Amino acid sequence: MSKVIAFAGKGGVGKTTVASLVIRHLARSGKAPILAVDADPNSNLGETLGLEVPSTIGDIRENFMKDPQGVPSGMDKAIYLETLVEQAMIEKPEFDLLVMGRQEGQGCYCMVNNILNNFTDKLSTSYKYIVVDNEAGMEHLSRRTSGKVDMLYLVTDYSLRGLRAVKRIYSMLATLNLDVGSLGIVVSRGPEKLGEAFSAEAEEIGVSVAAVIPDDPALLEYDMEKRSLLDLPDDSPAVIAVEEMLKSTVPA
């Protein structure tokens, strides 16, 4: 059975960075095979992992909707779409990456979405871990994981505005078809000791702080140089913080 680790938070708080560092740790700890899913329409998980993304599930869906009759002669539509998904998968030795891409345009997408959802569900059974970098609204998360999430990290930067966004996301959980095993708040670019106002607001949410990721200069350096976060050194403060977070929140 696959273990699903997911991330949610508003844009710009470091969610994708933390997801990338989790993938790095799992890959280096012999936890392969891993499926990384970029379910944020503003897709950039591939960039942080140093990968080019030639095609997304959104591209496949839109292209099919433009020409539903463009299926090769004699091929079933479901098999055709599944083949396109397999081609869109970026395969690396330690993990595979699947990018969901843009949301639906106009028209009824029920048939094509059902095929894509069923196939991605089937794919997921082949992996030990599924790491999902999700949009703040979490609609993709409820559709792409069969409703089961083992660990959901709500990511915020060190600001009350970011923490209040986490509170809104947390309040949405009750309206989604999700079975969440454990929850934790992750504070990115945080100080060694959280301030009283921040800690008090976090306590009001009712979810414990799973980790504080320090402001690591190497993260900005790697971003500016377009280098993969997978190549960060083991003594990177952000790498160490994520490793400690996983040890305490995601048992092997």
User: Where are the chain's structural domains?
Assistant: 3-249
CB 189 within 8 A of CB 212: no
Per-residue model confidence (pLDDT) at position 67: 86
Place of tokens 């994520």: 242
Quick one: tokens of 216? 């690591």
pLDDT confidence tier of residue 200, bands split at 50, 70 and 90: very high
Nearest to residue 99, comparing CAs of 69, 135, 153?
135
Secondary structure (3-state) at 190: strand
Encode pLDDT of 80-90 as tens digits. 888 998 888 99
pTM of the prediction?
Answer: 0.90
Alpha carbon separation from 198 to 14, 168, 210 (Å, rounded): 17, 16, 14
CATH superfamily of 3-249: P-loop containing nucleotide triphosphate hydrolases (3.40.50.300)
Place of tokens 């929140």: 249
Is 60 exceeded by the pLDDT of residue 238?
Answer: yes
Pairing of β 95-99 and β 34-39: parallel
